[in-house]
Structure 1
Amino acid sequence: MSSGQQFTLRTIIMAHPDRAAQAAALARHVPGAEVVFDPEPDGRRDSMRATYAAWSAGVADATHVLVIQDDVILSDTFLPTVLAGIELLPDAALAFYAHNDSPNGALIRLSAAAGADWVEAITEADYLPCQAVLMPVPLVRRLTEFMRPLVGLRFDDDDVLAQFLTTAGVPTYLSVPSVVNHGQFVSLIGNDERSAALYSHFHPASAGSGQRLAHSVTACPYFSKGVAYCMLRVDDGTHDAWRQAHWLDAVRWLGLDRAVIEEGFEQHRAADDQVPALVDHIGLAYVHGIWVTAYLTGHVLRTGAVPVRRLTDGATTPVSSDLLIDGWAAMGEGGLFGTLLHPRSLDGWGKAVSAVAQAAYEAAGGPTP
């Protein structure tokens, strides 16, 4: 498939024979896509082996390769967004999905609130999910060389991909929002509970809107296992490096007063009649973690820690308040992954979670549409 006159895209569906029907359906959704099956389908379940096979399938007559996993849902604007990404950032690696409990997922939500359509990914301190990734052919060749000796040794293909991008110094960007989501299929490697950090059927690039890139982000709050954390970009004297901080450390680093955050939470608990029921349902520590994460998010945006620059001219798409609310709900769901509680525990509670997060965000002075 061609994008303008300069670029040619080859699409590979990375698949297991148990999902042949789903892979065929995805291939019909993306014209010209080819299905590449796990070369050892009866062997140990190994996503690294399957990923290597997909990226090694050949790059003849292409400038870019897109690899899609067989268990995803593609938005209505997925393909136009991919083609726009090639035009905008032809030398970069692009990912169109991030998990709702990860720093990169939080980075997508943070950038959406800042009005961006793309964001620089974190690769040195987070994995990069392989659900839908695009690379120019020269990078694909280097990636397969990097992966080859690791097949049979490593199974964590998303970590290996992030390590390659970091060591190779490859610019890597995420679409904002994600235009791919995890499908409702039984996972072959145990990721049933995960979904996108912020998913939408619409990406502004598909409509020809002016595009904006969030870059040089210095702080990214995220919610994991019921606890608020913050990724901080710290200068170690030789280069900037991301490091994870518990929210108490992040509060000191960002110059915030813990007492103000705690007082705001207690005031909201007393004022919002949904909070006591939510606390009874899911626990005080979880609701407190939601409040702190959203408060830090509002502060980070208010203080300019998420610079945004234009990639193209033209009218830009306004920040959607509905999308931000959806992001809070996804953050809440992701925060239960890896705990004793299933994310489905929040079924019917999304609005209550979002209300807590939005109140904290606004209390910190976060920008609103």
Structure 2
Amino acid sequence: MPDVSDILVSSSVMTHPVRLAQAQRLAARLRLDGLAIDPDPEGPPSALRTAQVAWSAAAPEASHHLVVQDDVDAPVELLEIVARAAARFPDEALVFYTNWHARNGAAARLAALAGAAWVRAVPDEFTPSLGVCLPAGTAAAFRADARESAERHDDELLSVFFRGRGRMSLLAVPNIVEHIGTSSINGHAAQGIRRAVCPTSAADAAPLLSRGRVLEEPGWIPYMRYGEGYVRLVGQEHGPDAGRGHHRWREALPSTGLTEGDVLAAREAHLPPELAAEVARAFGDAFAEELWTHCLLLGRQAALASRRLGPAPGEIPVDVLDRLRCSAVATAGLAGLPPERRPEAGPDEVRTMAAFAWTAIHAGNLLVRPGA
């Protein structure tokens, strides 16, 4: 593993002329090298068109190149944290933001609960591209592939590229890059408020990303979309729809080792009626039931993953790991809501959904049978 002094990270901010001032402020505050401006701003929306400019801006002497988008926030320590992560994983594609409502976001939430600081991205979903660092050689190879592509979404093409190389990116579980705003030049505004799955301070993220554990295979992954619970199954990417289909949790249960009876028994024994009623009053009975079941399954998988990972490194304080877990659970309810209903969730609703989620996660821990 190279020393951090051997790592030189160059950097670019992807932007469009309508956000130029915003991008300039971001680059100045984070001491990033320059802007990558859409070369055809009047043309059809294409994040890839601007990404090609950004990845082409890697400095000749750089070992790695970092690309961030203009609609993010990040700590002033961003470059230092990225450089230390690149020193630890010099050959990996590293992703520093993961959407709270995506399958990769669900993998990161599961990893946080298991006590991991990094998790391998799933192969059947886009690569969240708001903050990505690639080794210089990998960046050059991606540019070459992108040059011939008709794709307009850089996040989709990054996943195609990584799948072709047989190794998906590593997702930073503590997110130090945060998405801001709800507008989207590339057509994603219908997804509503989109935030990081585990927003984390630089002070907590630094030791986690430098020394924390890596969850390579989380197993099947519970996730929510539009108010309903789903499961991403192991090997789903090899299915007839290239893994892009969604399996409701009930239909996926036979592949998980659990039964609907297990779920119903856990609900009967552990679901808190008062909290359930509060969530239901705000967002409906169906959502409350789906959220609790989703978090039950999440707790079960996190407990299994934690067993596989073993004890956390002693130099990472317990309270840092606890804050990471709480951050992950705090976004579970919000992310699970339909996009149009997320603005209805104020601080009180968020706290109630988090408390409700924790009851299900603890119940899910109990579903791990001895010797599993």
Task: Check whether TM > 0.5.
Answer: yes
Which of 247, 258, 261 is residue 259 of structure 1 equivalent to?
Answer: 261
C-alpha distance 77-314 of structure 1, shift in aligned 2 (>3 A): farther
Q: Provide TM-score, normalisation by structure 1.
A: 0.87
Instruction: Tell me by how many angstroms 1:190 deviates.
Output: 3.1
Q: Provide TM-score, normalisation by structure 2.
A: 0.86
**Which residue pairs with 1:190 in the alignment?**
188
Instruction: Tell me by how many angstroms 1:296 deviates.
Output: 0.7
Instruction: Tell me by how many angstroms 1:245 deviates.
Output: 3.3
Instruction: Tell me by how many angstroms 1:184 deviates.
Output: 2.5
Query: Cα deviation per residue 1:167-200 (whole Å; 9 max; x = unaligned)?
Result: 1224520112111110136332333521111111
Match for 1:132: what amino acid?
G
**Which residue pairs with 1:79 in the alignment?**
79
- Across the aligned residues of Structure 1 and Structure 2, the Cα RMSD in angstroms comes to 2.8
Matches within 5 A, 1:133-172: 133-150=132-149, 153-172=150-169
Q: Alignment partner of 2:21: what SS?
A: helix
In the aligned structure 2, how far is the partner of 1:294 from the partner of 1:215? 21
**Which residue pairs with 1:112 in the alignment?**
112
Gaps of 5+ in 1: none
**Which residue pairs with 2:234 in the alignment?**
233
C-alpha distance 131-187 of structure 1, shift in aligned 2 (>3 A): same
C-alpha distance 4-164 of structure 1, shift in aligned 2 (>3 A): same
Query: Cα deviation per residue 1:268-316 (whole Å; 9 max; x = unaligned)?
Result: 56x44232232132122211111111111111122347743799x7612
Gaps of 5+ in 2: 368-372
Greater CA drift, 224-233 or 244-253:
244-253
In the aligned structure 2, how far is the partner of 1:40 from the partner of 1:25? 22
| Structure richer in strand, relative to its length | 1
Q: Are 2:25 and 1:37 equivalent residues in the alignment?
A: no
Q: Alignment partner of 1:20: what SS?
A: helix
Instruction: Tell me by how many angstroms 1:362 deviates.
Output: 0.7
**Which residue pairs with 1:210 in the alignment?**
211
Match for 1:161: what amino acid?
L
C-alpha distance 145-68 of structure 1, shift in aligned 2 (>3 A): same
Q: Which runs of 4+ in 1 moved over 4 A?
A: 241-244, 266-269
In the aligned structure 1, how far is the partner of 2:50 from the partner of 2:354? 37
In the aligned structure 2, how far is the partner of 1:287 from the partner of 1:110? 20
Which of 155, 167, 170 is residue 173 of structure 1 equivalent to?
Answer: 170
Instruction: Tell me by how many angstroms 1:264 deviates.
Output: 3.6
In the aligned structure 2, how far is the partner of 1:86 from the partner of 1:50? 24
In the aligned structure 1, how far is the partner of 2:78 from the partner of 2:27? 13
Q: Alignment partner of 2:354: what SS?
A: helix
Quick one: percent identity of the two aligned structures?
27
In the aligned structure 2, how far is the partner of 1:5 from the partner of 1:321? 31
**Which residue pairs with 2:289 in the alignment?**
288
In the aligned structure 2, how far is the partner of 1:70 from the partner of 1:3? 30
C-alpha distance 337-77 of structure 1, shift in aligned 2 (>3 A): farther
CA contact (8 A) 1:216 1:306 kept: no
Greater CA drift, 209-218 or 281-290:
209-218
CA contact (8 A) 1:193 1:337 kept: no
Query: Cα deviation per residue 1:82-115 (whole Å; 9 max; x = unaligned)?
Result: 1121111000100001111111111111111111
C-alpha distance 69-329 of structure 1, shift in aligned 2 (>3 A): same
In the aligned structure 2, how far is the partner of 1:33 from the partner of 1:310? 39
Greater CA drift, 101-110 or 345-354:
345-354
In the aligned structure 2, how far is the partner of 1:203 from the partner of 1:290? 31
In the aligned structure 2, how far is the partner of 1:310 from the partner of 1:37? 46
Match for 1:159: what amino acid?
E
C-alpha distance 255-110 of structure 1, shift in aligned 2 (>3 A): same
In the aligned structure 2, how far is the partner of 1:326 from the partner of 1:32? 27
**Which residue pairs with 1:219 in the alignment?**
220
Query: Cα deviation per residue 1:20-59 (whole Å; 9 max; x = unaligned)?
Result: 1221122123324211111112222221211122112344
